[in-house]
């Protein structure tokens, strides 16, 4: 949809020289049907309520994120991981509105649930930024990491689209960074929530692409840079 606000949306390019892939909250706490949130819902007999979420993670987000990880690493572009959870084991540092959720999922730094899921784990040297709020810029040094790496644009993948992914990308835009959401490498609780969030984001905040488009543009920019 194009409207009077979309006209003002800033063009954002994906290029290895100044673009990072940012993997948001792909942790056992809320990214696995067998642990954290998934285990909690299963114990309550409610796991079916989250089938959309976990199926999307397993069948779309993880495979597409793996493709993007390979593409960014092959291009020599940085990969940054962001995790969410309490920094303290007693959860005292967590904001009140998420403290109960963290506790229920045993999500604090050092717990198994706080770890990044198998198949997407960082390589040695990949920065891992720990936050305890929805937006990474509010409670971590993500901005300093970007500046140290020369990052001017972030390509965001992970969960949940309408919470930590969207909030972090909007915070980035407010700080002058380009922001791109990958539609088929992010996910939340329903198609409706996913589409509404993406539509709202592309209305002024940044750009929305799919995995193929992101990889194609990254490869094209890399070829152009080598030919220059």
What local confidence, expressed as pLDDT, does residue 6 receive?
87
Nearest to 27 by CA among 38, 41, 11, 12: 38
Q: Got the DSSP string for 169-191? A: HHHHHHTT-EEEEEEEEEE-S-H
Give the pLDDT score at 1.
55
CATH class of 6-227: alpha beta
Q: Which one-letter DSSP state was computed for residue 152? A: -
Q: Is the pTM of this model over 0.95?
A: yes
Q: Write out pLDDT tens, residues 19-46.
A: 999 999 999 999 999 999 999 999 999 9
Q: What residues does each domain of the chain span?
A: 6-227
Write the pLDDT tens digit of every residue in 187-225: 999 999 999 999 999 999 999 999 999 999 999 998 888
Cα-to-chain-centroid distance, residue 63: 14
pLDDT score at 106 = 98
Report the distance separating Cα 14 and Cα 147, nearest Å.
17
pLDDT digits (tens, 9 = 90+) for 156-168: 999 999 999 999 9
For residue 129, is pLDDT > 60?
yes
């Amino acid at each position: 949809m194009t409207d009077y606000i979309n006209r003002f949306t800033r063009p954002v390019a994906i290029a290895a020289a100044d673009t990072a892939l940012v993997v948001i909250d792909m942790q056992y706490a809320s990214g696995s049907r067998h642990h954290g949130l998934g285990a909690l819902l299963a114990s309550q007999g409610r796991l079916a309520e989250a089938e959309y979420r976990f199926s999307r993670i397993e069948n779309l987000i993880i495979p597409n994120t793996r493709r993007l990880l390979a593409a960014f690493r092959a291009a020599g572009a940085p990969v940054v991981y962001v995790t969410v959870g309490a920094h303290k084991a007693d959860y005292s540092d967590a904001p009140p509105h998420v403290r109960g959720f963290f506790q229920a999922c045993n999500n604090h730094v050092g717990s198994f649930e706080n770890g990044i899921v198998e198949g997407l784990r960082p390589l040695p040297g990949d920065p891992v930024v720990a936050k305890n709020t929805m937006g990474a810029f509010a409670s971590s040094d993500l901005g300093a990491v970007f500046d140290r790496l020369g990052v001017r644009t972030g390509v965001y993948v992970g969960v949940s689209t309408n919470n930590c992914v969207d909030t972090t990308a909007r915070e980035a835009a407010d700080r002058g960074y380009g922001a791109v959401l990958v539609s088929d490498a992010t996910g939340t609780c329903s198609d409706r929530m996913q589409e509404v969030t993406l539509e709202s984001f592309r209305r002024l905040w940044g750009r929305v692409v799919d995995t193929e488009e992101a990889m194609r543009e990254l490869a094209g920019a890399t070829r152009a840079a080598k030919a220059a």
